[in-house]
C-alpha cells in the first residue's frame, strides 16, 4: 500500500466552535475539506507515532465515509493502532470511556451532536485528548491556525475496510481493531450504579418507563443496558436503531424536539419515568409523570442525592457548572460544604477540574450532566443516576424535585433561543451589550435592581489559562440573572441564547410556570438588549 502526499489549499473556515468543527454535510463533502482538517489535527499533536487512536461517531450521514478516510490518513501519518467502533458507531461518552480505559493517545468523534443529520443536515468532527475529554482551547486554536496554512496531507492508498465485523486487521503498518461499541461503556455504568436495585425497580411490574433514543447513537447502548442488563420490558427503548438522518428528526432531547416522548409522559396513563438522549449520546432529558426536570435542577438533585449511589457514596469533591446554568447546584455545594465552580460553556472547561480531583459532578443547562467517570457529559449515565435515586427513595420524580425545592428553594430557569439570526445583527447586539453591561450597576428595572453587569471571563484555576468574552451577564440584587451569548455550535447564521434565572425560596410560590415566573425578567432582557428590534424577530424560535 502506497502512502501518498496530496497537495491542497487551506480553507479559511475551519475554526472549531464550542464542541469541534461543525458544518453542513455538503461543506465536508467538498474535495479535501475533511482531509485538511484531519491533517491539521494530526499536525497540531506531538508524539503520536506508533500510538493508539479511538475512532467512531454517532452514525449520521457521512460517518462511514469519513471513518474510511480517517483510517487511511491515520495509517499514512504513522499511528500504530486505531480502535474503531463497530459500524463506525461510538457515542461521545463511550469514546471518552474507551480512551481512558485503554490509555490511548486520543480519539476522534464524528458528530454534530443534536444538529439534524442526513445529506442536507450537519456533520462534525472533534478531537479528544488522552484524558478522554475534548481538546482544550489552546489545542483547538492550534488546529485552526494549522488549517489556515496547510498545503498537503498524507493518505494511504488502500481499499475500504469492513467496519461491521468485530476483529483485527492491518492497513499498511497500522493495526485496526473493530471493537464492540457498547461493552466497555456498559461495564463502566455497571461499576457506578446499583444495577440490582435498579433491576428490582424496573421489573417490579408497577414502575413503567420509556427511553427514547431519537434514532440516534444511544439506541444500541440503551437496548443493552436497560432491556438486556437491567431486564426492563422489551419496547422500553423506542427509536433505538441509529439512522443516518435520525429518521428526519432533530435529535435534541428537549420539550420541543422530543415531542413524541413528551406526549407519552404528559398523556393519559403516563409512565413513571421518561428520558431521551441527543445525537451523540452526551445529553439527557429527564421526565417524570407529567413532570419536566430542568437540566439545572437535575444537576443539583443528583448532587444532593449522590450519597445514595454506589459510585459516589463517599461524597463529592466539588460541583462545576457552566456559567449560564442555574445556581441551583451552588446551593447544594454550599450545603454539602464543598467547592462550586463556574466555567464557560462547553465541556472542555471541566477537564482540568476533573483531572485535578476538584470537581466530581459537572453540568450544563443544555441538558448535559456528567462526572469524573469520564471527561464528557453523559446522557445514559444521568438516566441511570436518576433510576438509582428513584430505586432507593421509592418516590416519584415530582416528589423528589418538589422536596428539593422545599429544602433549597427553586431556581426558576429558562433559555430562549433566537435561531438563524443574521450574523451581523447578532454580533451588533452582543457588542452593544458588552458596552452597556458594566454601566448598569444600581439601575432599577421594575422590581429588580442591577447588582453587576459584565462579560464573563474565566481563569482556569489549574493551568491559569484565560478565556474571555464568554457571555454577557446581568445580575440583580436578589440573585436573579439574565445572560446573553451567541451559540458556538450552529452552522447557519447566528443563534442568540438568552438565559433567565430567578430564585424563589417560598414553597408556596414554587409551582408557577417558569415563563410566568420569569415574565418580568423576559421583558427586562428585551428592554436592555433590544432583542426584538435588533434581531427583527418578535419571539424566540425555541424555548427550553
Ligand atoms: C451548546 C450548549 C453547550 C454544549 C454544546 C455542546 O453550545 O449550549 O452547553 O456544551 O452545545 O453540546 P452552544 O455554543 O451552541 O451554546 V453537544 O451535545 O452539541 O456536543
Ligand atoms: Co451532544
Q: What angle do CA 463, 468, 471 make, to 5 degrees?
A: 125
Are the C-beta atoms of 56 and 90 separated by less than 8 Å?
A: yes
Q: What's residue 490's pLDDT? A: 78
* Domain residue extents for the chain: 2-181, 185-408, 410-543
CA distance 80 to 71: 11
Domain 2-181 is classified in which CATH homologous superfamily? Alpha-D-Glucose-1,6-Bisphosphate, subunit A, domain 3 (3.40.120.10)
Calculate how far, in angstroms, residue 345's C-alpha sits from the geometric centre of ligand 2: 13
Ligand 1 binding pocket includes 481 (Cβ within 6 Å): no
Residue 158, C-alpha cell as written in the block:
488502500
Q: Which of 111, 113, 298, 414 is catalytic?
A: 113
Calculate how far, in angstroms, residue 364's C-alpha sits from the geometric centre of ligand 1: 9
Calculate how far, in angstroms, residue 253's C-alpha sits from the geometric centre of ligand 1: 12
Q: What's residue 491's pLDDT? A: 79
Smallest-distance ligand from the CA of 363? 1
Please indicate, yes or no, whether the overall pTM of this predicted structure exceeds 0.75: yes
Calculate how far, in angstroms, residue 283's C-alpha sits from the geometric centre of ligand 1: 9
Spell out the per-residue pLDDT of the chain, length 544, in tens. 789 999 999 999 999 998 899 999 999 999 999 999 999 999 999 999 999 999 999 999 999 999 999 999 999 999 999 999 999 999 999 999 999 999 999 999 999 999 999 999 999 999 999 999 999 989 999 999 999 999 999 999 999 999 999 999 999 999 999 999 999 999 999 999 999 999 999 999 999 999 999 999 999 999 999 999 999 999 999 999 999 999 998 999 999 999 999 999 999 999 999 999 999 999 999 999 999 999 999 999 999 999 999 999 999 999 999 999 999 999 999 999 999 999 999 999 999 999 999 999 999 999 999 999 999 999 999 999 999 999 999 999 999 999 999 999 999 999 999 999 999 999 999 999 999 999 999 999 999 999 999 999 999 999 999 999 999 999 999 999 999 999 988 778 899 999 999 999 999 999 999 999 999 999 999 999 999 999 999 999 999 9
Active site residue 181: no
**Which protein residue's CA is at the shortest distance from atom 8 of ligand 1?**
366
Ligand 1: which of 136, 322, 489 to mutate, judged by most atoms within 8 Å of the beta carbon? 489
The sign of the CA dihedral 201, 202, 204, 210 is positive
Ligand 1 binding pocket includes 113 (Cβ within 6 Å): yes
Q: What's residue 1's pLDDT? A: 78
Q: What's residue 93's pLDDT? A: 98
CA distance 538 to 427: 18
Q: What's residue 198's pLDDT? A: 98
Calculate how far, in angstroms, residue 26's C-alpha sits from the geometric centre of ligand 1: 22
Ligand 1 binding pocket includes 345 (Cβ within 6 Å): yes
Ligand 1 binding pocket includes 114 (Cβ within 6 Å): yes
CA distance 241 to 223: 9
Q: State whether residue 411 is helix, strand or coil.
A: strand
Ligand 1 atom with the shortest distance to the CA of 112: 19
Ligand 1 binding pocket includes 295 (Cβ within 6 Å): no
**Which protein residue's CA is at the shortest distance from atom 20 of ligand 1?**
113
Q: Tell whether domain 410-543 is in CATH 2.60.40.10.
A: no
Ligand 1: which of 140, 368, 420 to mutate, judged by most atoms within 8 Å of the beta carbon? 368
From the options 3.10.100.10, 3.40.50.300, 3.40.120.10, 3.40.50.740, give the CATH code of 185-408: 3.40.120.10
Do 2-181 and 185-408 show the same overall fold? Answer: yes
DSSP codes of every residue in 341-372 = EEE-SSGGGGHHHHHTTS-SEEEETTTEEEET
**Which protein residue's CA is at the shortest distance from atom 11 of ligand 1?**
489
Amino acid at each position: 500500500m502506497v502512502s501518498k502526499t496530496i497537495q491542497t489549499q487551506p480553507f479559511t473556515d475551519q475554526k472549531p466552535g464550542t464542541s469541534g468543527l461543525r458544518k453542513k454535510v455538503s461543506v465536508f463533502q467538498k474535495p479535501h475539506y475533511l482531509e485538511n482538517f484531519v491533517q491539521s489535527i494530526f499536525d497540531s499533536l506531538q508524539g503520536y507515532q506508533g500510538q493508539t487512536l479511538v475512532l467512531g461517531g454517532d452514525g449520521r450521514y457521512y460517518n462511514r465515509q469519513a471513518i474510511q478516510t480517517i483510517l487511511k490518513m491515520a495509517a499514512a501519518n504513522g499511528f500504530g493502532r486505531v480502535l474503531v467502533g463497530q459500524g463506525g458507531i461510538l457515542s461521545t461518552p463511550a469514546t471518552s470511556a474507551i480512551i481512558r480505559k485503554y490509555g490511548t493517545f486520543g480519539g476522534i468523534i464524528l458528530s454534530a451532536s443534536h444538529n439534524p443529520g442526513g445529506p442536507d443536515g450537519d456533520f462534525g468532527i472533534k478531537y479528544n485528548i488522552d484524558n478522554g475529554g475534548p481538546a482544550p482551547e489552546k489545542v483547538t486554536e492550534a488546529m485552526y491556525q494549522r488549517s489556515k496554512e496547510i498545503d498537503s496531507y498524507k493518505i494511504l492508498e488502500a481499499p475500504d475496510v469492513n467496519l461491521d465485523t468485530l476483529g483485527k486487521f492491518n492497513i499498511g503498518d497500522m493495526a485496526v481493531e473493530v471493537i464492540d461499541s457498547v461493552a466497555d461503556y456498559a461495564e463502566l455504568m455497571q461499576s457506578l450504579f446499583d444495577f440490582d436495585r435498579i433491576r428490582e425497580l424496573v421489573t417490579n411490574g408497577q414502575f413503567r418507563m420509556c427511553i427514547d433514543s431519537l434514532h440516534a447513537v444511544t439506541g444500541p447502548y440503551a437496548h443493552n443496558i436497560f432491556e438486556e442488563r437491567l431486564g426492563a420490558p422489551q419496547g422500553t427503548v423506542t427509536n433505538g436503531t441509529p439512522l443516518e438522518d435520525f429518521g428526519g428528526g432533530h435529535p435534541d432531547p428537549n420539550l420541543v424536539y422530543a415531542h413524541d416522548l413528551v406526549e407519552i409522559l404528559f398523556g393519559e396513563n403516563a409512565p413513571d419515568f421518561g428520558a431521551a438522549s441527543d445525537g451523540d449520546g452526551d445529553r439527557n432529558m429527564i421526565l417524570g409523570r407529567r413532570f419536566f426536570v430542568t437540566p439545572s435542577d437535575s444537576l443539583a438533585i443528583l448532587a444532593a442525592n449522590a450519597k445514595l449511589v454506589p459510585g459516589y457514596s463517599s461524597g463529592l469533591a466539588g460541583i462545576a457548572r457552566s456559567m449560564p446554568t442555574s445556581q441551583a447546584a451552588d446551593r447544594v455545594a454550599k450545603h454539602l460544604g464543598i467547592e462550586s465552580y463556574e466555567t464557560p460553556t462547553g465541556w472542555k472547561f471541566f477537564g482540568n477540574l476533573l483531572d485535578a480531583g476538584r470537581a466530581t459532578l459537572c453540568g450544563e443547562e443544555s441538558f448535559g450532566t456528567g462526572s469524573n467517570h469520564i471527561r464528557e457529559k453523559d446522557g445514559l449515565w444521568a438516566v441511570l443516576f436518576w433510576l438509582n435515586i428513584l430505586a432507593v427513595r421509592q418516590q416519584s420524580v415530582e416528589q423528589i424535585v418538589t422536596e428539593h425545592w422545599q429544602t433549597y428553594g427553586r431556581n426558576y430557569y429558562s433559555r430562549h433561543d433566537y435561531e438563524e439570526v443574521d450574523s451581523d445583527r447578532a454580533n451588533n447586539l452582543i457588542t452593544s451589550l458588552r458596552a452597556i453591561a458594566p454601566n448598569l450597576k444600581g439601575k432599577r428595572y421594575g422590581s429588580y435592581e442591577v447588582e453587576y453587569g459584565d462579560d464573563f471571563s474565566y481563569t482556569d484555576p489549574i493551568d491559569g489559562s484565560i478565556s474571555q468574552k464568554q457571555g454577557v451577564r446581568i445580575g440583580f440584587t436578589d440573585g436573579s440573572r439574565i445572560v446573553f451569548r451567541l451559540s458556538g455550535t450552529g452552522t447557519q447564521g447566528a443563534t442568540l441564547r438568552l438565559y433567565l434565572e430567578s430564585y424563589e425560596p417560598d414553597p408556596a410560590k414554587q409551582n408557577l410556570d417558569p415563563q410566568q415566573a420569569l415574565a418580568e425578567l423576559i421583558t427586562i432582557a428585551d428592554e436592555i438588549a433590544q432583542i426584538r428590534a435588533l434581531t427583527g424577530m418578535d419571539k424566540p424560535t425555541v424555548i427550553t
